Each structure stands twice: as structure tokens, then as C-alpha cells.
């Protein structure tokens, strides 16, 4: 078993974030989630935070630190899509997705790094997407935001790697959540045909990998992109 840690999962009130928080609780860690609405799974501390607002992120960390101690594992999971074809994509469609998915992760990780540097220990896990490296029609904004997380994790690895801190990217393929439920049936069927596993995954299948990359056993893995995509991205 891994050393019990203080873990923060952003967007832990539903979908993949909820499953990740559940898995950390199951493994005996102290778990906080951020949510804009609703709450995390049983056994977690829920704090309100909007990742597009640095003051809100800072306040969430202060509340978590007071209850559970400094955050040792941070999972930047909160994310949105605003899909539309490039010609129709407004500046706002592009900027909102980057601000939430990429800059939001930066805000959270920057705040978490303070305590990690002091402790000379940290696990940073960024939830990207197969689309970050594979691309997706109608997803120029989303795919750019998710690809950006790879450079972000690798720069953190170079900056903080000698301080006991790892930064990795987990890149899910198609997972059964509200986000994919929004896709038209025909699109879902097309995707299933191109996924070697022939199916979408459950959020728990992503959660298990996230918990492992944050565990004591994974201390020598950093700057990696770990696909959980049924073979769709062929390792990328
Ligand atoms: P959901 O749409 O089910 O949940 C999104 C989560 O992000 C919610 O908890 C939501 O909070 C939170 N969130 C969104 N915007 C903000 C914000 N500004 N501040 C704080 N929290 C916010 O998504 P999934 O569970 O499907 O996705 C989770 C992550 O996994 C995302 O980063 C997504 O891009 C990624 N992913 C998902 C895949 C999939 O197939 N589902 C595939 C690959 C990657 P609230 O409910 O309060 O709005």
C-alpha cells in the first residue's frame, strides 16, 4: 500500500473526477475535491472552486490545508468542451476552453507546488485526452488545450524533478461520462469502430491508472503521457 497522502481532485463532483476521488478514498488517502456544484463522493471534503479564477483556487487550497494538511497529490481534472468547426469557432469558444483546461490546470498546479516544494514531495497528474495528440474535427480549442498540458507537465518535470515531484499526463480515450453522452449516437458508433478495444471505458478504468501514477511505486515516472484509450492513440 502507498503512503496515505492528502489528495486534491478538481472537478470531483461527477464523471472521471468523481471516480478518481472515489479510488483515492478506497486506497486510504485523505481526499478533497473541488466542485462548482454538487459534491464529491462519500469520504471526501468538498470545497467550492472555479479553476478560471485564481483567488477561488487559492481559497480552496487554504480551506483544504486547514482541514487535511498540505496537498501532496494534485489531479487537474476539471475540463470542458466547446466543440465546433474552426470556421465557426469564436474567440470566446477558443479562449474559454483554454482558460479552463490549460490555464485552469496551471492555476491549480502553481498553487499546489508551493507546499510540494516545501515537503520535497509531490505528484502532479494532468488529465489530458487522446484528442490532444490525435486531433479531432471540431475540437481545435479542446485539442490545443489538452496538447498544451503535455508541454506543461514536461517543463514542470524539468523544473521540479530534483525535488521529489513528478508531473505526468493521463490521456483518456472515450469514457462513459456526461461529456461523451452529449455526442450524437452516430458519432459514438463511428468512434467505437476505430477503437481497437471496441468499446468506451468506465471512469473507474481511468481512476485506477491515476491512483497508480500518484503512488509510491511510480516515483521514477515523470513527464510521461499515459494513454487509457483502448488502443485508439497507439501509445501516444
Ligand atoms: P464532465 O463533463 O462529466 O465533468 C467535468 C468536470 O469539470 C465537472 O466536475 C465540472 O464541474 C468541472 N469543471 C468544468 N469547468 C470548471 C471550472 N471552470 N472550474 C471548476 N470545475 C470545472 O467531464 P468528464 O468527467 O468526462 O471529464 C473530466 C476530464 O477528463 C476533463 O478534463 C475532460 O476533458 C477529460 N476527458 C474526458 C473524456 C471522456 O471521454 N469523458 C476523454 C478524455 C478526457 P461542475 O459540474 O461543477 O461544472
What H or E segment, with its residue span, contains residue 34?
A: strand 30-35
What are 159-213's pLDDT values in tens digits?
Answer: 999 999 999 999 999 999 988 888 888 988 988 999 999 999 999 999 999 999 9
Which residue in 134, 142, 191, 220 is the catalytic one? 142
Give the C-alpha separation, 63 to 52, whole Å.
18
- 145 CB near ligand 1 (under 6 Å): no
- 52 CB near ligand 1 (under 6 Å): yes
Give the C-alpha separation, 109 to 103, whole Å.
10
The rounded mean pLDDT for the chain is 97
Does this model's pTM top 0.95? My answer is yes
- The structural domains of the chain, ordered by start, are 4-174+202-225 (3.40.50.720)
Q: How far apart are the first and last CA of the chain?
A: 29
ipTM computed for the complex: 0.99
For 12-25, what is the mean pLDDT? 98
- Protein residue with its CA nearest to atom 27 in ligand 1: 16
What H or E segment, with its residue span, contains residue 55?
A: helix 54-68
Distance 100 CA to ligand 1 centre (A): 10
- 141 CB near ligand 1 (under 6 Å): no
What H or E segment, with its residue span, contains residue 147?
A: helix 140-160
Give the C-alpha separation, 27 to 32, whole Å.
14
User: Which residues have CB under 8 Å from 147's CB, separation 6+?
Assistant: 128, 132, 133
Distance 119 CA to ligand 1 centre (A): 29
191 noted as active-site residue: no
Q: Angle 140-160/91-98 helices, nearest 10 degrees?
A: 30
Distance 76 CA to ligand 1 centre (A): 10
Residue in the block written with cell 458519432:
187
Distance 144 CA to ligand 1 centre (A): 16
Max CA pair span of the chain: 51
- 82 CB near ligand 1 (under 6 Å): no
Amino acid at each position: 500500500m502507498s503512503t496515505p497522502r492528502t489528495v486534491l481532485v478538481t472537478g470531483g463532483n461527477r464523471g472521471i473526477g468523481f471516480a478518481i476521488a472515489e479510488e483515492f478514498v478506497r486506497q486510504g488517502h485523505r481526499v478533497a475535491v473541488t466542485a462548482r456544484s454538487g459534491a464529491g463522493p462519500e469520504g471526501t471534503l468538498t470545497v467550492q472552486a472555479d479553476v478560471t479564477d485564481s483567488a477561488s483556487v487559492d481559497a480552496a487550497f487554504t480551506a483544504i490545508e486547514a482541514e487535511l494538511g498540505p496537498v501532496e497529490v494534485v489531479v487537474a481534472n476539471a475540463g470542458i468542451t466547446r466543440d465546433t468547426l474552426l470556421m465557426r469557432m469564436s474567440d470566446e469558444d477558443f479562449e474559454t476552453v483554454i482558460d479552463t483546461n490549460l490555464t485552469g490546470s496551471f492555476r491549480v498546479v502553481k498553487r499546489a507546488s508551493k507546499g510540494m516544494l516545501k515537503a520535497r514531495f509531490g505528484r502532479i497528474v494532468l488529465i489530458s485526452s487522446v484528442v490532444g495528440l490525435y486531433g479531432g474535427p471540431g475540437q481545435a480549442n479542446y485539442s490545443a488545450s489538452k496538447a498544451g498540458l503535455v508541454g506543461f507537465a514536461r517543463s514542470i518535470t524539468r523544473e521540479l524533478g530534483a525535488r521529489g515531484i513528478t508531473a505526468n499526463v493521463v490521456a483518456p480515450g472515450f469514457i462513459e461520462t456526461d461529456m461523451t453522452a452529449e455526442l450524437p449516437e452516430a458519432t459514438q458508433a463511428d468512434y467505437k469502430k476505430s477503437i481497437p478495444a471496441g468499446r468506451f471505458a468506465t471512469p473507474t478504468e481511468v481512476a485506477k491508472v491515476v491512483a497508480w501514477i500518484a503512488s509510491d511505486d511510480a516515483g521514477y515516472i515523470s513527464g510521461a503521457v499515459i494513454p487509457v484509450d483502448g488502443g485508439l492513440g497507439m501509445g501516444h
